[in-house]
Structure 1
Amino acid sequence: MATETVREALSKVLDPEIQRPITDLGMVKEITVDADGVVTVGIYLTVSGCPLREKITSDATAAVSTLPGVREVRIELDVMSDEQRTELRRSLRGDTDEPGIPFSRPGSLTRVYCVASGKGGVGKSSVTVNLAAAMAARGLSVGVLDADIHGHSVPRMLGVTSVPTRVEKMIMPPRANGVKVISVGMFTSGNAPVMWRGPLLHRALQQFLGEVYWGDLDVLLLDLPPGTGDIPISIAQLLPDSEILVVTTPQAAAAEVAERAGAIALQTSQRVAGVVENMSWLRLPDGSTTRLFGSGGGRTVADSLSLALGTEVPLLGQVPMDPLLGEAGDAGNPLVLSEPEAPAAVVLRGIAEKLSVRPRGLAGCRLPVSPS
């Protein structure tokens, strides 16, 4: 058996963090094929403490074991040198030493949605997590940035169990339920509070957007903190082409506050992608429904923003209350995956579909050209 045959099999093994073939990343050190059917594969890990070394080993073993004539596969792990890591970083990010934000570059094809709310407690993070999981289930490449620095909760709700890995000047985000995730909670000990002011918050967002290797994303969702403070303003500066997705409840008081979260687009020139009304109604044991928080809040916000912005802002969906939604979040298994036929999951999947159907293309993108 030729070593090239083994290399071809290894080309189907993806690095779990980078999601590219290990053969393309320079991770295959050497291949030895003995006459008695024993294949030895040397693999470079990006860092010595690589948390996914066992998966890389098992995936490579499985890929080579399927080849005819292979009796045994032995994987020998090594660690990349500083020079090899530098070359890897250049192959992924180019020669620039200072990382830029790929989503703010002219011609970026990634759709960026900032999930915002006027106040806390409206289920903004639950909506973010379930939309991300639903989009990933549709086959899209999805990332979530937990931009609620002081109230981060996304890792738990998405079921993230691993931690980011730093390779050179890149941060490799962990994946859960098909979604790449980054959060300040991955860098703090225990449940320690994050007590940062504006400049530190802005710098953290720059790092999450620029130093994290997101790869080629179709959609990036940002779970913003409630209100219109430092972080929404920084996001508008760092990602001027991002779109705002407003989450509210039916209650008139919540809707009034939610309008402010969307109206920030008047000053930032961002587009409002739509409004999601959460906790719209509750189904009772006898099959009837009750509206605990009133009705009409989502429609009111959508109509008010449409009038203020001079363009249609759609009400994308009304998500019913469901105890399973909270239980699924606590278990790290989003409702759209764990109970896909639950009424709330059906609505959330419908919203994800509406936000996903717009094809990737250059229409509406600013291009680096000027008239001569």
Structure 2
Amino acid sequence: MSCQSSNLDEQEIRIKDNMDRIKHKIVVMSGKGGVGKSTMSTNIAYGLSLAGNKVGILDADLHGPNIPLMLWVEGTKLPSLEKPLELSENLKVVSLSFYLENSNNPIVWRGPAKIGAIKQLLGDVDWGDLDYLVVDLPPGTGDEPLTIAQSLGKVDGSVIVTTPQDVAILDSRKSVKFSEMVNMPVLGIIENMSGFVCPHCNQRIDIFKNGGGEKAANEMNVNFLGKIPMTAEMVEAGDQGKPYIFSQREGVAFSALNSVITDIINKTKGEEKIMNNLKIAFPTNDGETVESHFGHCKQFAIYTVKGEEILTKEFVDAPPHEPGLLPKFLGELNINTIITGGMGQRAIDLFTAQNIDVILGASGKIDNNLKEFTGGELYSKGSACSHDHDEEHSCSH
């Protein structure tokens, strides 16, 4: 084996050892520049840390590293790659900007140099034990995103940032396709700059249109995380190095960001539940496939699982179809999770009140869906139905 091959093997081992100490890994992507991706990365990472998680943020946008400016550490120089910059007890950050003589100098590198730099930031930095690593990627689907996808190991998923205009939506679809190509789940799409909120009268003006990100998410069968409006305070927070989620505690933009962060926590930490015993209910009529009409199924296939091991399996006849009955019925059976095709929002709220999680978008064989779920590969693939159905009736629209 050549010396160069040996060095490469050692680097891959260091990367794996580092990444194995991180519970959850999230990449923040955008199909094009200028959509506020770094703003979202900063606020997501800061919000996760405020929730009590140990968080690292990797600025992998080598040509335009903006994370240090947004965290008020622009111009900071680190002597070596050994340690990240610690901003607080719960938040660490690494950026190529910390190792440049002058942050105004451009990075003029070809692909191999960029790939090597990213691998150094992953493998040579002592990230320590983290709950989350948030990676801020450059726009597009080139060398940097591909290197990150191939080096992180198991990734919880990508968060794709877009704005409502058609040109941004077109590029965000490419990010969804990229995630699928590298077997990386999509945690969801954020529609950023979704209207401007006047600081004087709180009137909303849709400067860049409205709803394009949500429409793309629905059409591509991925989760929609929410709409983040523009506010003067958010712009000022970014320029002053004070993440908006930290400096504000009210307002429509704060509520929207907080909802996104909560959704990400629920989707990622939900996987940790499979380490304990879970009781999972599937609606079915034939005992083998998931019945799309949740409230009209004849029975429930109920599995008790621990990790990927099936401990018990039983079939329970469904009660008469009466509004409000199923949440109480399944709650009394100590069901933790329902996996189904679709369900109205009112029904989801009722099950949530019983501490029962609802996974939407399932179809086909029950065994296949169960295997995906216990393997951490099954996520909600649709939105709650907004049509006026009975409370537990699913929707095929």
Query: Shorter-chain-normalised TM-score: which range?
Result: 0.5 to 0.7
SS, match of residue 235 in structure 1: helix
Asked if 1:174 corresponds to 2:81, the answer is no
1:119 is aligned to: 32
d(CA) in 1 for partners of 2:172 and 2:110?
23
Q: Does 1 or 2 have the higher relative contact order (CA < 8 Å, sep 6+)?
A: 1
Deviations 1:214-261 (A, max 9, x none): 111111111101011111111111124221110001112211111101
The residue number in structure 1 matching 2:115 is 202
Q: Distance in 2 between matches of 1:356 and 1:143?
A: 15
Match of 2:260 in 1: 351
* Higher mean C-alpha deviation, range 95-104 or range 195-204: 95-104
Q: Where does residue 77 of structure 1 map in the other structure?
A: none
- Aligned pairs, number: 261
Unmatched 5+ stretches in structure 1:
1-94, 307-312, 367-372
Counterpart residue identity of residue 182, structure 1? V
Residues 1:263 and 2:174 aligned together: no
Q: Answer whether contact 1:248 1:254 (CA < 8 A) is retained.
A: yes
Structure-to-structure mapping, 1:275-354, within 5 angstroms: 275-284=189-198, 285-306=200-221, 313-354=222-263
Instruction: Give deviations 1:4-26, integer Å, cap 9, x for gaps.
Output: xxxxxxxxxxxxxxxxxxxxxxx
Percent of aligned pairs with the same amino acid: 35
Maintained 8 Å contact 1:163/1:174: no
Distance 1:223 1:253 in 2: 21
Q: Tell me which residue corresponds to 1:273.
A: 187
Query: Match for residue 30 of structure 1?
Result: none
Tell me if the contact between 2:39 and 2:70 (Cα under 8 Å) persists in the aligned partners. yes
Report how far residue 305 of structure 1 moved: 2.6
Instruction: Between 237-246 and 210-219, report the one with greater CA deviation.
Output: 237-246
Give the Cα separation in 1 of the matches to 2:66 and 2:60. 10
What's the C-alpha RMSD, in Å, of the aligned pairs?
2.3
Give the TM-score of the pair, scaled to structure 1.
0.66
Once the two structures are TM-superposed, the CA of residue 348 in structure 1 deviates from its matched residue by 1.1
3-state secondary structure, aligned to 1:205: helix
> Do the aligned partners of 1:283 and 1:290 also contact (CA within 8 Å) in 2?
yes
Contact kept? 1:263, 1:305, Cα under 8 Å? no
Q: What residue number does 2:100 align with?
A: 188
Quote how far apart the aligned CAs of 1:109 are.
5.3
Matched with 1:237 is 150
Asked if structure 2 preserves the Cα contact closer than 8 Å seen for 1:336 and 1:346, the reply is no
Contact 2:163 2:169 in 1 (8 A): yes
SS at match of 1:189: coil
2:25 is paired with a residue whose SS is: strand
